[in-house]
Amino acid sequence: MSKEVMEYDAVIVGGGPSGLATAIKLKQLDSNLNICLLEKGSEIGAHILSGNVFETKALDELIPNWKELNSPVKTKVTKEKFLFLGRHKSLSWPTWLLPSVQKNHKNYIISLANLCRWLAEQAEKLGVEIFPGFPASEIIYNQDGSVKGIATQDMGVDKDGNKKDSYQPGMELYAKVTVFAEGCRGHLGKQLIKKFNLDEGKNPQQYGIGFKEIWEISEKNHQEGLVMHTAGWPLDNNTYGGSFVYHAENKQIFLGYVIGLDYKNPHLSPFDEFQRFKTHPAIKKIIEGGKRISYGARALIEGGIQSLPKMFMPGALLVGCNAGTLNMPKIKGSHTAMKSGIIAAETINEHIKENKDLSIYEEKFKRSWAYKELYAARNIKPSFGWGLIPGIIFTGIDQILFRGKLPFTLKHKHADHETLKSANKMPKIDYPKYDNIITFDKTSSVYLTGTNHAENQPVHLKLTNPNLPIDYTLDKFDEPAQRYCPVGVYEIQRENNKAKFVINSQNCIHCKTCDIKEPSQNINWVTPEGGGGPKYGNM
Amino acid sequence: MKILVAVKRVIDYNVQVRVKEDNSGVVTENIKMSTNPPDDNAVEEAVKIKESGKVKEVIAVTVGEEKAQETVRKALAVGVDRGIHVKSEGILEPLAVSKILQKIVEKEKPDLVFMGKQAIDDDCNQTGQMLAALLNWPQATFASKIVVKDKSLEVTREIDEGLETIEVNIPSVITCDLRLNEPRYASLPNIMKAKKKPLEQINVADLGVDTKPRIEQIKVEEPPKRKSGIKVANVAELVQKLKNEAKVI
Ligand SMILES: Cc1cc2nc3c(=O)[nH]c(=O)nc-3n(C[C@H](O)[C@H](O)[C@H](O)COP(=O)(O)OP(=O)(O)OC[C@H]3O[C@@H](n4cnc5c(N)ncnc54)[C@H](O)[C@@H]3O)c2cc1C
Ligand code: SF4
């Protein structure tokens, strides 16, 4: 049965900062354009997880009077700290010695999910049609190979692929230009990069996994506007990562941890590193007596411009983290994502009106402040491949003395799925037990994400080879999926001495880590039924 | 025939509910809200009956703050013809809601009122029953099957002992169980059409209903944490512990 079709000037896949900025800018340029935006979450913001210390530069350009429109950008950064953590001690790093990319005095502490909800309101006022609960599951191509649009997911299909009573076929949405704004490791973006060779001549993309918890803490420990970052313990010198602690409004703190997915030891459990991190005296004293109210995780881009693919192809554009516009040393990607969306909108408008080629998108992007920023930051992450201390020294020279203008570019050599070493060659890690006060297990954590997927639907984590986990990955890497998945979707169960690989897909929080880190790229994340996944509040 | 369906906006069933720090209620800020699940079944059933040709019009009504409209829009997107939003702020007890619905029934003159068996936020399970009493109509609660006959409905009810089938005359109030049907998904074109369907807003004050709470809420608390269990080595130890520690035998 052929699907019903709707046609638009532009279809935008994903309601994050990049997609919403694209939609708003398009309507500002021409209110007659027909714009449709799809979001897989049950509402805008439900799948958004971010720090977030927000640079308003792109928002200033997009909606200059945002302060008058009751936007949720309220808490100004008032104070900053940077700590190096040893096992028991911590060393405070003077902020004047921090490279300027690490300074935040003009920025705001926000919930990016709430900013997206507000941006969606602005977009709807301008006439953008926003459809939450509708994942784009498939790319539709024209005969000449250019992108024609997307198809939304069928609803009401049972786990064996049969139609249920509630079956509702997906739709095909065609557009003059389709904008892919799926965020880090977009499920369709990944296919486009491959099909159009967009990453040709680029370094492999680098990713991290970011955890976040929201805590309500006691008044005496709370300093609204304080931004703190840490490096060091509990990670060893060769694993890239660090924490953030942002003191937001209402006595809440946003506590998070980012770990580079290029880690080598398959026994490492990012989740447990994060839990353990909270037991450091410098952190524990902040959250003690407080209450954890939210939990979640999401992969993020770390590759920078070395890994930034071509962002245009016939009929379509990649924006934001779906391309990879995040500035890693800053761990900031919302402002650059929005800027890429603004430029994409300008491009589409010129394409429709003046028939200009979509390649002008990349030219415009390269001339923008967003690109300059990414260029200056390009050598920081790769330099940490030499270890924490050499990385810091290099970064000091590169950023403070040369302001990112050193005449060479360091490379990312490996994709993240290639970096794991054999399990029997790497040390096992003994993680402490959870105390249920400061540290928690995955079961109680997943509960806080509100995630759910309607029962009896096809599993949305597809194995290319269903036997590989048991036949190969278990022996070689002790099946790291058990550890890198932040909510325990993957389990090895043993029955009568036989190991079985179990996928609890209903718990998935759409972080995309498995799709990135699986050593044989054997796990493919595809879109589940609409509305499934986490129900994040102010993440 | 005409069916009125009542729908309520509640905290989404997947979300962990948190008590406010001052114990004055539960946190609803930054929390995903949805239509009360059995209300979706009520809407589905009404739309199905309409599709079978036995009903001319289905109207959805909600009572609550501005955002409660979303639940009516959702109903409009799956086939309801028009909506009514009775605007009101603050806590409304089931009695107040029943009285408001009574006014709407008097105004719209439906033949049937469908609603969820209870709302998952307060679990009161009272509004349908009180509405039936106020209207002096028969009621069938916990419906898991509805057969429309000429001047009556044959309703199968989910009760403690199993299933009970009763016949109620029209007009009547029916409260729906989750087993009644599988609610459909809204399609994109229907969501767009729903945005254009009529949605009337009424201020609760204009209905002349006394909505003052009759119950004073003193304090909202989280249930006590369950203590973790212990493992015993053998039956003797179990008996000893039941006797001396738990003191149950
Ligand atoms: C732990 C962490 C901390 C961070 N801290 C900061 C910070 O302090 N400051 C900062 O500026 N940035 C920060 N970032 C980065 C920032 O969050 C991202 O750069 C930004 O969210 C990228 O925006 P985006 O629009 O490209 O993608 P996203 O924000 O990821 O949005 C993508 C949206 O598309 C939807 N989607 C995806 N696929 C589909 C599909 N197929 N169909 C329909 N919908 C789909 C998703 O559900 C999502 O809503 C942080 C990120 C993480 C993970
Ligand atoms: S299954 Fe994959 S995408 Fe889902 S939560 Fe686990 S690692 Fe993330």
What structural domains does chain B harbor? 2-222 (3.40.50.620)
User: B20 touching A, CB under 8 A?
Assistant: no
Q: Name the closest residue on chain B to residue A132, using Cα atoms.
A: B188
Query: In terms of Cα–Cα distance, which of A272, A381, A361 is closest to A316?
Result: A361
CB contact under 8 A, A452 and B14: yes
CA distance B13 to A4: 32
| Closest residue of chain B to A539, computed from CA coordinates | B30
Ligand nearest to the backbone CA of A209: 1
Atom of ligand 2 nearest to the CA of A513: 7
Spatial separation of the C-alpha atoms in residues A252 and A230, rounded to whole Å:
19
Cα separation, A137 vs A525, whole angstroms? 11
Residue A5, chain B, CB below 8 Å: the answer is no
CB atoms A166 and B182 under 8 Å:
yes
Q: Provide the total of helices (H) and of strands (E) in chain A, helices listed first.
A: 16, 24
Write out the two tokens for A35.
């714009």
CA-nearest residue, atom 7 of ligand 1: A52
Residue A278 falls inside a structural domain:
no
Interface probe with B: pick from A168, A433, A443, A506, most Cβ of B within 10 Å: A168
In A270-396, the DSSP E strands lie at 291-301, 312-313, 316-318
Bond into A72 cis (ω within 30): no
Q: Minimal CA–CA distance to A180: which of A327, A321, A275, A359?
A: A321
A125 found inside a domain? yes
Q: Are B188 and A134 a contacting pair at CB < 8 A?
A: yes
Q: Residue A150 sits in which domain range?
A: 4-67+113-202+309-376
In this prediction, residue B73 carries a pLDDT of 96
The pLDDT value given to residue A99 = 66
Q: What is the model's pLDDT at position A102?
A: 65
Which residues of chain A have a CB within 8 Å of the CB of B182?
164-166
Residue closest via CA to ligand 2's atom 4 equals: A508
At residue B21, the pLDDT reads: 86
- Comparing A191 with B243, the larger pLDDT belongs to A191
Instruction: Give the per-residue pLDDT at A101.
Output: 61
- Ligand 2 contact via A49 beta carbon (within 6 Å): no
User: Chain A within 8 Å of B30 (Cβ-Cβ)?
Assistant: yes
| CATH number of domain containing A14 | 3.50.50.60
CA distance A498 to A245: 44
- Indicate whether A137 belongs to any domain: yes
Residue A140 has what pLDDT? Answer: 98
* pLDDT computed for residue A239 by the predictor: 86
DSSP of A433-481: PP-SSS---HHHHHHHHT-B--SSS--SEEESSTTHIIIIIHHHH--TH
What is the pLDDT at residue A490?
98
- Cβ A525 under 6 angstroms from ligand 2: yes
Query: DSSP class of residue B3?
Result: E
Q: What are phi and psi of A72, to 5 degrees?
A: -85, 25
Cα–Cα distance between A17 and A22 in angstroms, integer?
Answer: 9
Greatest alpha-carbon pair distance for chain A in Å reads 69
Element (H, E) at A179: strand A171-180
Predicted local confidence at residue A399, as pLDDT: 74
Q: Would the CB of A508 count as within 6 Å of ligand 2?
A: yes
Helix axes A17-29, A334-354, angle to 10 degrees: 40
What pLDDT score was predicted for residue A413? 87
As a whole number of angstroms, the distance between CA B103 and CA B107 comes to 6
* B191 contacts in chain A (CB < 8 Å): 131
Residues of chain A in contact with residue B185, where contact means CB-CB under 8 angstroms, are 155-156, 166, 168, 530
DSSP label at A76?
Answer: E
Residue A142 in any domain: the answer is yes
Sheet holding A53-54, edge to edge: A53-54, A108-109, A75-76
Q: Tens digits of per-residue pLDDT, B197-219?
A: 999 999 999 999 999 999 998 99
Residue pLDDT tens, chain A, 539 long: 578 999 999 999 999 999 999 999 999 999 999 999 999 999 999 999 999 999 999 999 999 999 999 999 999 999 999 999 998 888 887 776 666 666 788 899 999 999 999 999 999 999 999 999 999 999 999 999 999 999 999 999 999 999 988 888 999 999 999 999 999 999 999 999 999 999 999 999 999 999 999 999 999 999 999 999 999 999 988 888 999 999 999 999 999 999 999 999 999 999 999 999 999 999 999 999 999 999 999 999 999 999 999 999 999 999 999 999 999 888 899 999 999 999 999 999 999 999 999 999 999 999 999 999 999 888 887 887 777 777 777 777 777 667 777 778 888 889 999 999 999 999 999 999 999 999 999 999 999 999 999 888 999 999 999 999 999 999 999 999 999 999 999 999 998 889 999 999 999 999 999 999 999 999 999 999 998 999 999 99
Restricting to B residues 187-206, those with a Cβ less than 8 Å away from any Cβ of A are 187-189, 191-192
CB contact at 8 A, A28 and A125: no
Q: Could you count the other beta carbons within 10 Å of the beta carbon of residue B217?
A: 11
Give the model's pLDDT for residue A405: 76
Residue nearest to atom 38 of ligand 1 (CA): A182
Task: Name the A residues in 448-477 with CB < 8 Å from any B CB.
Answer: 448, 450-452
Q: Return the CA Rg of chain B.
A: 22
pTM higher than the cut 0.90: yes
Name, in order, each residue with C-beta under 8 angstroms of A390's C-beta and a sequence gap of 6 or more: A383
What is the count of residue pairs from A and B with beta carbons less than 8 Å apart? 54
Tell whether B32 is within 8 A of chain A (Cβ): yes
Indicate the residue of B18, B30, B34 with minimum beta-carbon distance to A538: B30
| pLDDT attached to residue A96 | 67
Å between B184 CA and nearest CA of chain A = 5
Q: Name every residue whose Cβ is closer than 8 Å to that of residue A184 and which is 6 or more positions away in sequence.
A: A207, A298, A299, A300, A301, A321, A322, A324, A326, A512
In a domain, A506, yes or no: no
Three-class SS state of A527: coil
Long-range contacts of B103-108 (CB under 8 A, 24+ apart): B103/B207, B103/B208, B103/B209, B104/B4, B104/B61, B105/B4, B105/B131, B105/B135, B108/B2, B108/B4, B108/B59, B108/B84
Residue B135 in tokens: 């209207």
Q: Is the pLDDT of residue B90 over 80?
A: yes
Distance from the CA of B10 to the center of ligand 1, in angstroms? 27
Bigger pLDDT: B91 vs A18: A18
A166·B21 Cβ contact <8 A: no
Q: State the DSSP code for A327.
A: B
Residues with CB under 6 A from ligand 1: A 13-19, 38-41, 47-54, 112, 135-136, 181-184, 186-188, 210, 212, 256, 258, 298, 300, 320-322, 326, 331-335, 337, 527
Secondary structure class of A302 (helix, strand, coil): coil
The answer to whether the bond into A349 is cis (omega within 30° of 0) is: no
| Residue A7 CB contacts under 8 Å (≥ 6 apart), including other chains | A34, A173, A174, A175
- The DSSP output letter for A385 is G
Residue A187 lies in a domain: yes
- The total number of structural domains in chain A stands at 1
In degrees and rounded to multiples of 5, residue A80 shows phi and psi of -135, 145
Is A222 contained in some domain?
no
Distance from CA of B11 to the nearest CA of A (A): 11
The burial of B219, by beta-carbon neighbours within 10 Å (0-12 exposed, 13-18 middle, 19 or more buried), is given as exposed
DSSP letter at A400? Answer: I
Q: Is A26 in the pocket of ligand 2 (CB under 6 A)?
A: no
For chain A, the distance separating the N- and C-terminal CA atoms, rounded to the nearest angstrom, is 40
Nearest CB among B21, B32, B192 relative to A450 is that of: B32
Contact of A14 with A330, CB cutoff 8 Å? no
What distances in angstroms separate CA A432 from CA A234, A274, A429, A496, B174, one per listed residue? 12, 12, 10, 29, 55
DSSP category for residue A533: B
Confirm whether A117 is domain-assigned: yes
- Looking at the CA of A48, name the nearest ligand: 1
Mean pLDDT for chain B overall: 94
The pLDDT score that the predictor gives to residue A97 is 67
